[in-house]
Structure 1
Amino acid sequence: MTTPTSTEIPFLELHEVSTLIRTRQLSSREVTEAMLERIDSLEPRLQAFATVMAESALAEADRADSLLDRGNWLGDLHGVPVAVKDLANTHDAPTGAGTTIHADFRPDFDATVVARLRTAGAVILGKLRLTEGAFAGHHPDLPTPVNPWDADAWSGVSSSGSGVATAAGLCFAALGSDTGGSIRLPSSVNGVTGLKPTWGRVSRHGIFALAPSLDHIGPMTRSSRDAAIVLRAIAGHDPADPTSSLEPVPDYPQTLRVDGAPVVGFDRKLAEEHFDAATNEMLEDTIETVTDLGWRVLEVETPGFEAAAKEWTALCGVETAGVHSETYPDRADEYGPDLSGLIAIGRGLSAVDYHRLLESRRDFTGRMRILMADIDLLLLPGIGVGSPTIAQMANLGSDEKLFAAVTVPTAPIDNCGMPSITLPAGFTERGTPLAAQFVGGDLTEPLVLAAGHAFQQVTDFHTRHPAG
């Protein structure tokens, strides 16, 4: 490929800029400087970063270039500028987790995912803003990231900074976390590709938890191919996280091929009951696209998604109350209303109530495994309401229909821990993004990523970017 100009660099895909750095058409320092200049220009408006780590990023870029000078190439992330959600520990920058209580916390070690990115040669540009404690709302004393497609459009929940930064060309990939949809929802509304791996596929060591048994760490990128590159770097067992999977890590970028004709399940009744017209039109277009690819679409009945989505809040609340037991209720006045409300729900449940929720979750997970035994992928939207506005989302807690549209496609997949990929799949009449989601069975990331790649080979939604 020809060497891009400084204005073209920010919207390259990760694998493209990787090739340019490896072949010495661009240095890591040149790319990093271009990204830092763009951050400096757009960050006052977009508010995606909690901390910009310019000095250390340039030092890492210089080290990457020096290694290449000596003939040492560390892989596809070598010298590529990325950013991480500000709930992942970094030894050289604060980790505030979207709170004011922990705003000045300086860990003395990197989260495993951060350490693995650095080992792979990535340049860490900074820490990305998130909602308070990775729940639903931003702390009232902290900025909210702005959707680069439309300032009036919602930028998503917890990983909103990651979605905004990736979409706006402020990094080539970001790490996000997903407990109830927080990789998939910001990916959907910001028009980027988000991968939620199988629970345990990626270590959670050094991650500020929202609800440990629901938390997933994964990449937010411009394409499925890029997500495969990042996942290969961060996945794998970690002795510091005994819940991490012992299964070997496939070479995900080398398995981006769909063999045969996968069976895609689609619950039309679920879609008609819970998702809006723009979303359903996008889903029908997606079905047409995958049918043209030779895949078989099978109508299925999903196992109690609405009930699972409703139960998610209480399940999350109990675990969140445990996470915050050292600071809540003693410092309750320093919490915002959304996170304190969730903790109150968790603290108010009895052991019997929680037991019933766990039994229901196990039942739902079992029924999902039965469903996935009959299909290869389940098609859902990334969010069931097309690119909602900030004004609409202000009613999320009181509007049952809106709550279902947002949570039904996302929270149940965290309950069962299965992997899924969210893909740009259309646009609203306002020109804001719509997204489809492919869910796979446990540890089927190779298929999920390959499906996303196949879809993106015949569509161009992921190649479009917001103006400015």
Structure 2
Amino acid sequence: MSSALHYLELCELSQLIRSRKLSPVEVTQAQLARIEQLDPQLNAYARVTPELALAQAREAERELARGVCRSPLHGIPLAVKDLLWTSDVPTAAGMPIHRDFLPTEDATVVARLREAGTVMLGKLQMTEGAFAIHHPSIPDPLNPWGAGHWAGASSSGSGVAVAAGLSYASVGSDTGGSIRFPATANGLTGLKPTWGRVSRHGCFELAASLDHIGPITRSARDALFLLSTIAGHDPKDPTSLPSVCLEVPGVEESFRGLRVGIDEEWISQGVDPLIRRALDTVMAIIVDGGGSLVRIRMPDTRVVSGNWELHCGVQTAVAHADTYPQRAAEYGPALSRLIEGGRELSAMDYQRVLLEAQRFTGALESVLGEVDLLLAPVQPYAAPTHEQLASLAGDPEANRMLIQFTAPFNVSGHPCISLPCGLTGEGLPIGCQFIAGKGAEALLCRAGMALQKVTDWHRLHPPGF
């Protein structure tokens, strides 16, 4: 058990803790020791909180000994992306100008995790302001599957920590793909909920109408497990949706009866044949499991993915109005460029961006009226190197292609789940994703659990860790 302890899924660890076979203190101590040993070479954490974690673990142990179980997550050590406010730990959002910012309250997500009795190991590193690139003064988190390869956009620290066994799960954010990209890069499951399903109160904004908060976990069941804790209406966030009950044990692990939409041209054009073959494998599993493949025509994603940076940039400029341009010299080049583009865009041009977003969303709703799910890649090529990503800087079309399967669903607000679906010849993870109608997170997790019931890609771990 000790050698496998750090790779247990939330559901497995929960049973062991509640049956008193493991104690929250010993699990937390093991996690802290592993972080101390491995994180200096991975850079997943922006800040580790050992004293807080041990105090919370001891309290959880005392409560459980008295028969008080706050939730299935009681006593489980987790870490969160460093854009979620924590009242007792600084929250920097990947930005040196906020390195000493101590919020006056917890983000609603953090408060719900505390109420559930979780143990906070620390805050996970991220790109500057949750945009594309880390601030030049902050070391990038390194992908444990291969240090020369992308760890996956802004929730990079979250993906690295869960993949390397430095946290049992994490909470990340996704504005253009930043839950799904790191989940794919690190061989994990990432759930971008419906916009508004999880409160954004106490979360550093990148772009308010595009930002989504959600789980990065080792399985689809764990994603639903964690979502059920953090989701729900929040009076502090007027955009949050009404509460829904997400019953984890009641979700069927089957494709039986599900109609999965496939647009052969959309999932093939410009897509690495390796990823396309992985999707074919997933399609075969769907059919073998009693599902059906329905040929559909996706609305054109080129315009909304091409507009994404303008759409995001205007909202980011508003979010940073208190510090930009006043402290522009302290910003990194990527975030500065995004904000400048947003500040320069005319109101008429922004309205054109919004109209295109509305057209796409309406057309997508029509397609989802014909099927239960859509199947797509997460990205058009597998496991890009840092050099490949650096070459995108001056190529708008290459950037658009990178986000063409992720950003459109931030614009529309539809939920998506990314899942491991294979390995490259070099042994690096490949991912796919399902997309569903708004509010259908349980259906997405059902599909994910059905896939993971008959495959073991989600149980693979980076060699050497």
TM interval, short-chain normalised: over 0.9
Bigger drift between 255-264 and 281-290 goes to 255-264
1:238-284 per-residue CA deviation (whole Å, 9 max, x = no partner) reads: 00001000143332443244474111111111122131121111111
State the distance in 2 between where 1:305 and 1:316 align. 16
Which of 306, 313, 318 aligns to 1:310? It is 306
Name the CA shift for 1:259/1:190 in 2 (closer, same or farther; >3 Å): closer
The question of 1:159 aligning with 2:152 is answered no
> Which aligned pairs between 1:235-274 and structure 2 lie closer than 5 A?
235-258=231-254, 260-274=256-270
1:124-152 per-residue CA deviation (whole Å, 9 max, x = no partner) reads: 10000000000000000111000000011
Q: What is the root-mean-square deviation in Å for CA atoms of aligned residues?
A: 1.1
For the 8 Å contact 1:385–1:402, the answer to whether it is kept is no
Q: Which residue of 2 aligns with 1:22?
A: 18
State the distance in 2 between where 1:294 and 1:210 align. 41
Q: Which residue of 2 aligns with 1:394?
A: 390
User: Structure 2 counterpart of 1:388, which letter?
Assistant: P
State the distance in 2 between where 1:436 and 1:147 align. 19
Which of 62, 66, 74 aligns to 2:62? It is 66
Relative to the length of structure 2, the TM-score reads: 0.98
Which of 455, 458, 461 aligns to 1:465? It is 461
> Which aligned pairs between 1:182-331 and structure 2 lie closer than 5 A?
182-258=178-254, 260-331=256-327
1:160-196 per-residue CA deviation (whole Å, 9 max, x = no partner) reads: 0000001000011100000000000010011110000
Give the match's secondary structure for 2:426.
coil
State the distance in 2 between where 1:325 and 1:296 align. 49
Q: Which residue of 1 aligns with 2:436?
A: 440
User: Structure 1 counterpart of 2:187, which letter?
Assistant: G
For the 8 Å contact 1:274–1:404, the answer to whether it is kept is no
State the distance in 1 between where 2:273 and 2:211 align. 31
1:83-103 per-residue CA deviation (whole Å, 9 max, x = no partner) reads: 000000001111000001111
Which of 377, 380, 392 aligns to 1:381? It is 377
Q: Which residue of 2 aligns with 1:456?
A: 452
Q: Which residue of 1 aligns with 2:116?
A: 120
> Which aligned pairs between 1:59-98 and structure 2 lie closer than 5 A?
59-98=55-94
Bigger drift between 391-400 and 125-134 goes to 391-400
Aligned-residue offset at 1:370: 0.4
Give the match's secondary structure for 1:369.
helix
1:391-440 per-residue CA deviation (whole Å, 9 max, x = no partner) reads: 11111233455424420110001000001100010000110000010000
The question of 1:137 aligning with 2:141 is answered no
State the distance in 2 between where 1:448 and 1:25 align. 32
User: Structure 1 counterpart of 2:102, which letter?
Assistant: R
Which of 169, 175, 180 aligns to 1:173? It is 169
Instruction: Give aligned pairs, total.
Output: 464
For the 8 Å contact 2:194–2:414, the answer to whether it is kept is yes
State the distance in 1 between where 2:252 and 2:389 align. 36
Aligned-residue offset at 1:339: 0.5
Bigger drift between 239-248 and 163-172 goes to 239-248
Q: Which residue of 1 aligns with 2:38?
A: 42
Give the match's secondary structure for 1:15.
helix
For the 8 Å contact 2:86–2:107, the answer to whether it is kept is yes
For the 8 Å contact 1:271–1:280, the answer to whether it is kept is yes
Aligned-residue offset at 1:73: 1.2
Give the match's secondary structure for 1:84.
strand
Bigger drift between 150-159 and 252-261 goes to 252-261
State the distance in 1 between where 2:436 and 2:176 align. 17
Q: Which residue of 2 aligns with 1:99?
A: 95
Name the CA shift for 1:290/1:259 in 2 (closer, same or farther; >3 Å): closer
User: Structure 2 counterpart of 1:427, which letter?
Assistant: L
% identical aligned pairs? 50
State the distance in 1 between where 2:129 and 2:12 align. 34
Name the CA shift for 1:243/1:41 in 2 (closer, same or farther; >3 Å): same
For the 8 Å contact 2:108–2:202, the answer to whether it is kept is yes
State the distance in 2 between where 1:388 and 1:281 align. 18
Give the match's secondary structure for 1:101.
helix
The question of 1:369 aligning with 2:365 is answered yes
Structure 1 gap segments, 5+ residues each: none
User: Structure 2 counterpart of 1:23, which letter?
Assistant: S
Give the match's secondary structure for 2:123.
strand
State the distance in 2 between where 1:406 and 1:23 align. 45
Aligned-residue offset at 1:292: 1.2
